[in-house]
Amino acid sequence: MQPTNFVWHYTVGTRLPAIAESAVLIPARSLHATASLGVLWFSRQQTWEPSTARTGWKRHPANKMALPEKEGLFRFGLPAADSRLVPWPGVTRLADIDIPEAMSMVSAGLRRGASPTDWLGVLTQVPLAELRFQRWDGTAWCDARMDDIDLAALAAMRPAVPPEHGRRIPMTATHAGAMHDVH
């Protein structure tokens, strides 16, 4: 596929209700991070970012076809020239991701067929209004509108999580003289 002027944040449908409610994409910390800031990850990959694939999804063609029908695949595009984007590995330094965690991310990504040089991060929230939104139709990415998505049905598919995992806890962090809102 031809490169575009966008980099992409890939996600699944069960995450859309929370995204729509907040009206922003929010940087997230790794579950294994100790002191790192949150990163909102984007990829130069124009079809799918392999590092986001669930276990077995990449290796089983049948699963690739079933997943879009089950909960849907979606992506949010940010112009590739956006000044907030920081390429790998520079984003790991700015976000204070320690070396063992960064190496673990590379290792996991490579096992799934990803290329870390495709990864870029943003350390701030990005309003949905600044992003292009697309849905996978089973054969290609098509522009979509969040209003046309059945968010209630997708929310019902999301597994229940303990209340402390669903709360956004605002925190302001200062790093290298810049202020970043992280959640």
Q: What is the pLDDT of residues 146-165, one digit of tens each?
A: 999 988 888 888 766 544 44
Max distance between CA atoms of the chain, in angstroms, equals 49
The DSSP 8-state label assigned to residue 97 in this structure reads -
Q: What's the domain count of the chain?
A: 1
Position 170 confidence tier, pLDDT thresholds 50, 70, 90: very low
pTM, two decimals, is: 0.77
CA distances from 8 to 40, 55, 111 (A): 10, 21, 20
Query: Is residue 1, in this structure, part of any structural domain at all?
Result: no
Residue 142 region by backbone torsions, left for phi larger than 0, else alpha for psi between -120 and 50, else beta: beta
The H-assigned helical ranges of the chain are 16-22, 61-70, 90-94, 99-111, 151-157, 163-166
pLDDT in tens, 134-150: 999 989 999 999 999 98
Q: Write down the pLDDT at residue 153.
A: 86
Query: Which residues touch 21 (CB under 8 Å, ≥6 apart)?
Result: none
Above 70 in pLDDT, residue 182?
Answer: no
Query: Which residues touch 81 (CB under 8 Å, ≥6 apart)?
Result: 5
Query: Which residues touch 94 (CB under 8 Å, ≥6 apart)?
Result: 37, 86, 121, 123, 175, 176
pLDDT in tens, 98-144: 899 899 999 999 999 999 999 999 999 999 999 999 999 989 999 99
Q: How far apart are CA 85 and CA 78, in angstroms?
A: 9
- 8 A C-beta contact, residue 125 and residue 182: no
Query: Is residue 143, in this structure, part of any structural domain at all?
Result: yes
Query: Is residue 82, in this structure, part of any structural domain at all?
Result: yes
pLDDT in tens, 8-63: 999 989 899 999 999 999 998 866 556 568 999 999 999 999 988 765 444 445 44
Respond yes or no on whether the N-terminal peptide bond of residue 89 is cis (omega within 30° of 0). Answer: yes
Domain that holds residue 44: 6-182
Query: Is residue 107, in this structure, part of any structural domain at all?
Result: yes
